[in-house]
Amino acid sequence: MKKIIMTFALFVSMVSALSAQADNKAIGLRLGGGFGGGAEISYQQPLSKENRLEIDLGLNSWGFGLNGVYQWVWDLSDLADGFNWYAGVGAGVGTYNFNYGNDIHANRDFSIGVLGQVGIEYKFDIPLTLSLDYRPGIYFVPAFNGTYDGICLGARYRF
């Protein structure tokens, strides 16, 4: 039992040390071509200076979508201080209701897909980041067979 506790403590301290070297976490909204053309709640978790994980949850009258994208981030300070560009790959899951009648539970199906993402962001001196990105996806299991893409404007609070 003592070895398990020591191993867990070592793991927690290593993760804390890694996150101390990374950029800030961020939470906010992606607006526009997100899930269903509405808004998504967006969270970014830094993994290192050059990598992060973005998780987005979109809700609308058609259902919900949950997307996770692993991103590589590159500095564009030659353009101006605060600019970065990023690209990533990930996956998405969701439920979709294609029945436009009164019964919102009819024709509800589950879908899984793969995603790509490319974008540019600007980090202000205050804890605000604005981004503009393009995220294409292909959904293939089982109901919504097709492609999805959208351009989104993101606004996130860094903490």
Q: Residue 114: in which H helix or E strand, if any?
A: strand 108-123
Residue 84 lies in a domain: yes
The encoded tokens of residue 151 equal 């351009």
- Write the CATH number for 30: 2.40.160.20
78-132 pLDDT, tens digit each: 888 999 999 999 999 988 766 655 555 556 677 899 999 999 999 999 999 999 9
Q: Residue 120: inside a domain, yes or no?
A: yes
In a domain, 75, yes or no: yes
Asked whether residue 15 is assigned to any structural domain, the reply reads no
What is the rounded distance in angstroms from the CA atom of residue 146 to the CA atom of residue 83? 33
Whether residue 17 is predicted with pLDDT greater than 80 in this model: the reply is: no
Interatomic CA distance for residues 80 and 72, integer angstroms: 19
pTM of this structure: 0.77
What per-residue confidence (pLDDT) applies to 156?
Answer: 98
Residue 141 within any structural domain of the chain: yes
Q: How large is the average pLDDT for residues 26-40?
A: 79
Q: Does residue 14 lie within any of the structural domains? A: no
Asked whether residue 29 is assigned to any structural domain, the reply reads yes
Q: Is 20 within 8 Å of 47 (Cβ atoms)? A: no
Q: What is the DSSP letter of 48?
A: S
Q: Which residue range is the domain that position 135 belongs to?
A: 24-158
Task: Collect all residues with Cβ–Cβ distance below 8 Å to 121 and sequence separation of at least 6.
Answer: 83, 84, 85, 86, 129, 130, 131, 132, 154
What confidence tens digit (pLDDT) does each residue in 43-66 have? 999 999 999 999 999 887 777 889
CA separation for the pair 13, 43 (Å, rounded): 23
* Count of domains forming the chain: 1
Kindly state whether residue 71 falls inside one of the protein's structural domains. Answer: yes
Bigger pLDDT: 23 or 9?
23
Residue 21 pLDDT: 43
